[in-house]
Chains A and B, each alone.
Chain A
């Protein structure tokens, strides 16, 4: 989709560009947090887990900056039509990405509880990584879609959520079976269940962002669009 013509007031374009840049930055930080949290989980790296927990402050600060910028643009430029939709979307997306960061932080917090002493290392940890890549890929793509005002890409993320939900269901069953067979690990695996749930929630949030991106770009709600027959 073509990027619109420039504003007569050039500073308006700079403001909007800065806002988009901040959202992109938030997306990068959130993605990295998910990847690090999962890496920490897989390798039992408590230091890395601790760094993820501390790194969440960066996302909070970025969200605040987005909020400040968006409010300033609304106050000074009184944006309308697609500009208004974009600024409002940025404001909402920042809140969602911050929540995604919270989920990554929550995963990192559980690492010490899941990480057993040496021999107690539980095997299902390995299946979580693939689910994490899927969730994190959705976050990556949906923020790309926002940056490029790409409705097709947003739509693709929206439709990927079902696959992530299926993934979650299958991991859930696997983990429950594992607990039944290895009752000693129940407390660890229960935490791992929460990790899977967090990843599933991250996917839901990415899906919400896809809806916001779609609305910002088209002015039509994704749910109201004409259903494409497959």
Chain B
């Protein structure tokens, strides 16, 4: 193992996020390890999604949002002046709550990223990248005969896997998932969870979920957020069987609020 592999993939130190005058995140420090799935849990409005979005600067698109503190990817400050945000988002990909395929063919949905990032050396190479991404996302066998049909014509679960294929086609290092299963039925949810399990180790994965059981199933580390603060961050098995903090316990056992 190289020195690189033992360091956290991403580190956040004393991060504050403000929306105008409102502070959404207060003094959050956390490490995201490269070989693990990290789950963010907490009640609605606790800041977990806001914090997730700071990890690939998605909050830049919100005019009133202001981020303080330090977030590093492999040691490099992602909020540094010379950071290329487009490159950053290729390295730190994102999958959203609602599947949002482009209104284009399945093939184009996946090929778009590698093409604009210049990852493919010609058509054959692009075909290979598309097939590999769709296979890794567990979708290839279902759609290989209709790559030309529109991505939006797929079922919800397939669309979400298409979005995951789209995210991994550009060879990211980190995948952020913001409640990726909340719009899916139980079978599609199980497929995504299985996928997370298979992708683990290849990418650092951070997932925001409202489903405790899901967090317990898919992650190795769990962070509990409450009112913009990180209350507890520990091994998932500890969080769900023996949390240290009273607030964590009250939340995961359904006593919060």
A residues in contact (CB < 8 Å) with B = 4-9, 12, 77-85, 219-220
Q: List 19 A-B contacts (CB under 8 A).
A: A4-B249, A4-B250, A5-B250, A7-B254, A7-B255, A8-B255, A8-B256, A12-B254, A77-B254, A78-B212, A78-B213, A79-B253, A80-B212, A80-B216, A80-B240, A81-B242, A81-B253, A83-B253, A219-B241
Q: Closest 10 interchain pairs by CB?
A: A219-B242, A5-B255, A80-B252, A83-B253, A7-B254, A81-B249, A80-B240, A81-B253, A8-B254, A7-B255
Contacts of B248 in A (CB 8 A): 81
Expressed in whole angstroms, the Cα–Cα distance for A12 and B240 within the complex equals: 18
Contact B241 A4, beta carbon cutoff 8 Å: no
Is the CB of B257 closer than 8 A to any CB of chain A? yes
Expressed in whole angstroms, the Cα–Cα distance for A77 and B213 within the complex equals: 11
Interface centre among B242, B243, B253 (most CB of A within 10 A): B253
Contact A7 B213, beta carbon cutoff 8 Å: no
> Residue of B at shortest CB range from A215?
B242
Contact B242 A7, beta carbon cutoff 8 Å: no
Contacts of A78 in B (CB 8 A): 212-213
Q: How far is the CB of B255 from chain A (nearest CB, A)?
A: 5
Expressed in whole angstroms, the Cα–Cα distance for A8 and B212 within the complex equals: 15
Q: How far is the CB of B15 from chain A (nearest CB, A)?
A: 27
Expressed in whole angstroms, the Cα–Cα distance for A122 and B204 within the complex equals: 75
Contacts of B213 in A (CB 8 A): 78
Q: How far is the CB of A16 from chain B (nearest CB, A)?
A: 10
Contacts of A84 in B (CB 8 A): 240-241
- Beyond A78-B213, A81-B240, A81-B241, whether A9 also contacts B254 by CB under 8 A is yes
Expressed in whole angstroms, the Cα–Cα distance for A220 and B241 within the complex equals: 10
Contacts of A85 in B (CB 8 A): 241-242
Contact B254 A81, beta carbon cutoff 8 Å: no
Interface centre among A78, A80, A83, A85 (most CB of B within 10 A): A80
Contacts of A219 in B (CB 8 A): 241-242
Contacts of B252 in A (CB 8 A): 80-81
Q: A4-B255, A81-B248, A82-B249 provided; 20 other pairs, C-beta below 8 A? A: A4-B253, A6-B255, A7-B254, A8-B254, A8-B255, A12-B254, A78-B212, A80-B212, A80-B240, A80-B241, A80-B252, A81-B240, A81-B241, A81-B252, A81-B253, A82-B253, A83-B253, A84-B240, A84-B241, A219-B242
